[in-house]
Amino acid sequence: MISALRKRFLKYLAASIIVAGMLVSAFACSGGREKIPVENEMNVLLITIDTLRADRLGCYGYEKPVSRMIDALAGRGVQFNDCASQSSVTPVSHASILTGQNPYRHGVRTLKGGEPYKLDRDHFTLATLLKGAGYETAAFISAMPLVAEKFGLDNGFDVYEQSFYEDVEFEQELQNVDSRRKQNPAQRRGDLTNELAIDWLRGREGGPFFLWVHYFDVHETYLVPPMIPGEFMYEIEKPLTDIHSQMYDVELRFVDLMIKNLVDELYRLGVGRDTLIVITSDHGQGIADHDYPYHTMKLYQEQIHVPLIFVGESIPSGLKLDGRVGSIDIAPTILDVLGYPKQGIPAGIEGRSLRPVWKEGARADGAPPPVYSETSYPKEIFGESPVFSVIEGDLKLIAYAESQSENELFDLSADPAELKNIISERPEKARELEKIIARLQDGTVLDVEPATDEDDKETRALLRSLGYLNK
Ligand SMILES: [Zn+2]
């Protein structure tokens, strides 16, 4: 059900995009033939590693060698040490990555998707903007929580590859649970996604491209990596005290190899030097923290602290930058690096370009804007309170909208693991941060109805097969 308020807001948003983004409208109406030229026409490879918390990468301080390729890429580029995703829910967070907007703005706010929480067909994305600049656009996704029908994230993509979801007999296939397979109706393994993406790259005839590759392997373990003698062997260490954590490492190492294969292919094809590579994640994973091993119910740092790395010819080498940034900054930063004309950037984008931060350092960063996140999943699935958070400087408020006595305030500098709730010591600061959340949401409402047994059975079965629907 769309609330009247939300409808009004969407109309306002649509109007402001049309008025403020005349150039965008111009090429949208021209069927994409009227090109908006960018100054620095590089290819863009956006890699999202689903469920990857930043602190499991070597370049973010992890002690095990499970991310050698990502670490090497970080060493060749700029790494943001403190990036927070805008949600712990896959489609919600990815919509923020692709639009540069917080969830209350782009409107994708649930895991189940469908109307009204699906991206509007005429809503801009990084893909619509780059397509308008003459780019060929393609996405290779690896899991059901991003499929076009439910979430609308295919806006602007010439190719949106999700054949694992489309080519199978659902009822029959879901019975066939076998972790050694390359795909099931809910997800596919990274090597298969890679094969398809590499085929697409090889089949191209030239011109700039925007390629988004999404890997789902480190998400809950239902498909496991193959063993490749001499290249990729793994063993679970004994005793099996923490198999979840050990498999997380194994699957991350596998994804790291997939990224190596993909980037090597760019160089084999002669386009590596001309490609801006961006590596990030949509959210983390609890594993052993806060007694919650998963991601969707919570917004602690293990759920929202994600890696963010930019690599390319015009990007400085080996910079690691502090300062709070968000996934909404990714799209504006890519557009800025490409020299996309400022007047063509939609007014509704909330993120900022991070290029001045690496060009001019802390002086450009000043007082960075607060970073917002949300999850409606507790409400959507269990009828519990949705959760919101905001980080301003080192202080972070986690607000439970319908059970405010549970609200938590943390000082991320003194207590990065969020073990000491200081809300009773700093109640005025907590109120200040609550007001920031309210101001940002600006009257938009989240009227998610809790799930019922009558809900789409296929969706529920698919979600269950991915490890959801458990608390
Ligand atoms: Zn995800």
Backbone angles phi, psi at 78, to 5 degrees: -110, 130
* DSSP three-state, residue 34: coil
Q: Is the domain of 297 the same as that of 421? A: no
* Phi-psi category of residue 268: left, alpha or beta, with phi > 0 → left and psi -120 to 50 → alpha: alpha
pLDDT at 4 > cutoff 80: no
Q: Is the domain of 299 the same as that of 404? A: no
pLDDT at 66: 94
> What's the CA gap between 415 and 88, in Å, rounded?
21
> What's the CA gap between 182 and 135, in Å, rounded?
31
Q: Is the domain of 285 the same as that of 339? A: yes
Q: What's the CA-to-centroid distance between 51 and ligand 1, angstroms?
A: 5
Q: What's the CA-to-centroid distance between 113 and ligand 1, angstroms?
A: 14
Q: What's the CA-to-centroid distance between 2 and ligand 1, angstroms?
A: 25
**Structure tokens that stand for 353 in this block:** 């370009």
pLDDT at 175: 55
- Smallest Cα–Cα separation from 399: which of 369, 424, 423? 423
Q: What's the CA-to-centroid distance between 283 and ligand 1, angstroms?
A: 6
Q: Is the domain of 313 the same as that of 404? A: no
Listed in sequence order, the residues at least 6 apart from 443 whose beta carbon sits closer than 8 Å to its beta carbon are 5, 9
- Smallest Cα–Cα separation from 11: which of 125, 122, 150? 122
Question: Is residue 6 included in any domain, yes or no?
Answer: no
Q: Is the domain of 403 the same as that of 276? A: no
Q: What's the CA-to-centroid distance between 24 and ligand 1, angstroms?
A: 30
Q: What's the CA-to-centroid distance between 143 and ligand 1, angstroms?
A: 9
Domain boundary among 360, 380, 409: 360
pLDDT at 19 > cutoff 70: no
pLDDT at 294 > cutoff 50: yes
pLDDT at 178: 64
Q: Is the domain of 195 the same as that of 134? A: yes
Q: What's the CA-to-centroid distance between 272 and ligand 1, angstroms?
A: 27
pLDDT at 228: 76
Distance of CA 9 to the CA centre of its chain: 24
Q: Is the domain of 340 the same as that of 248? A: yes
Domain boundary among 360, 381, 407: 360
CATH of the domain at 393: 3.30.1120.10
Q: Is the domain of 126 the same as that of 246? A: yes
Q: What's the CA-to-centroid distance between 81 and ligand 1, angstroms?
A: 20
> What's the CA gap between 264 and 370, in Å, rounded?
37
Distance of CA 413 to the CA centre of its chain: 24
Q: What is the mean pLDDT of the chain?
A: 88
341 or 183: which leads in pLDDT: 341
Q: What's the CA-to-centroid distance between 22 and ligand 1, angstroms?
A: 34
Q: What's the CA-to-centroid distance between 92 and ligand 1, angstroms?
A: 9
Q: What's the CA-to-centroid distance between 89 and ligand 1, angstroms?
A: 6
Q: What's the CA-to-centroid distance between 284 and ligand 1, angstroms?
A: 8
434 or 184: which leads in pLDDT: 434
- Smallest Cα–Cα separation from 93: which of 285, 290, 320? 285
Number of domains in the chain: 2
Q: What's the CA-to-centroid distance between 282 and ligand 1, angstroms?
A: 5
**Structure tokens that stand for 24 in this block:** 């965008």
382-387 long-range Cβ contacts below 8 angstroms, 24+ apart: 382/450, 382/471, 383/450, 386/446, 386/448, 387/297, 387/298, 387/299
Helices marked H in 21-84:
22-29, 68-75
Could you list the residue range(s) of the whole structural domain that residue 397 is in? 371-462
Domain boundary among 360, 389, 413: 360
Q: What's the CA-to-centroid distance between 281 and ligand 1, angstroms?
A: 8
Question: Is residue 18 included in any domain, yes or no?
Answer: no
- Smallest Cα–Cα separation from 461: which of 158, 144, 149? 144
Per-residue pLDDT tens digits for 380-427: 988 999 999 999 999 999 999 999 999 999 999 999 999 999 999 999
Q: What's the CA-to-centroid distance between 199 and ligand 1, angstroms?
A: 25
Least confident of 226-230, 290-294, 344-348, 382-386: 226-230
pTM assigned to the model: 0.90
Q: What's the CA-to-centroid distance between 50 and ligand 1, angstroms?
A: 5
Q: Is the domain of 346 the same as that of 444? A: no
Question: Is residue 469 included in any domain, yes or no?
Answer: no
Q: Report strand pairing: 136-140 vs 209-215.
A: parallel
Q: What's the CA-to-centroid distance between 450 and ligand 1, angstroms?
A: 21
Question: Is residue 340 included in any domain, yes or no?
Answer: yes
What single string gives the DSSP state of each residue in 386-445? Answer: -EEEEEETTEEEEEETT-GGG-EEEETTT-TT-----TTT-HHHHHHHHHHHHHHHTT--
Q: What's the CA-to-centroid distance between 229 and ligand 1, angstroms?
A: 30
Question: Is residue 7 included in any domain, yes or no?
Answer: no
pLDDT at 377: 94
Per-residue pLDDT tens digits for 265-275: 999 999 999 99
Amino acid at 108: V
Question: Is residue 471 included in any domain, yes or no?
Answer: no
The answer to whether 359 and 57 are in contact (CB under 8 A) is no
Q: What's the CA-to-centroid distance between 378 and ligand 1, angstroms?
A: 16
Question: Is residue 433 included in any domain, yes or no?
Answer: yes
pLDDT at 29 > cutoff 70: no
pLDDT at 220: 81
Q: What's the CA-to-centroid distance between 218 and ligand 1, angstroms?
A: 9
> What's the CA gap between 209 and 369, in Å, rounded?
31
Across the beta sheet with 408-411, the strand order is: 371-375, 387-392, 395-400, 408-411
Q: Is the domain of 194 the same as that of 326? A: yes
Q: Is the domain of 240 the same as that of 96? A: yes
27 or 317: which leads in pLDDT: 317
Q: What's the CA-to-centroid distance between 349 and ligand 1, angstroms?
A: 22
Per-residue pLDDT tens digits for 317-359: 999 999 999 999 999 999 999 999 999 999 999 999 999 999 8
Q: Is the domain of 297 the same as that of 376? A: no
Q: What's the CA-to-centroid distance between 167 and ligand 1, angstroms?
A: 22
Q: What's the CA-to-centroid distance between 178 and ligand 1, angstroms?
A: 22
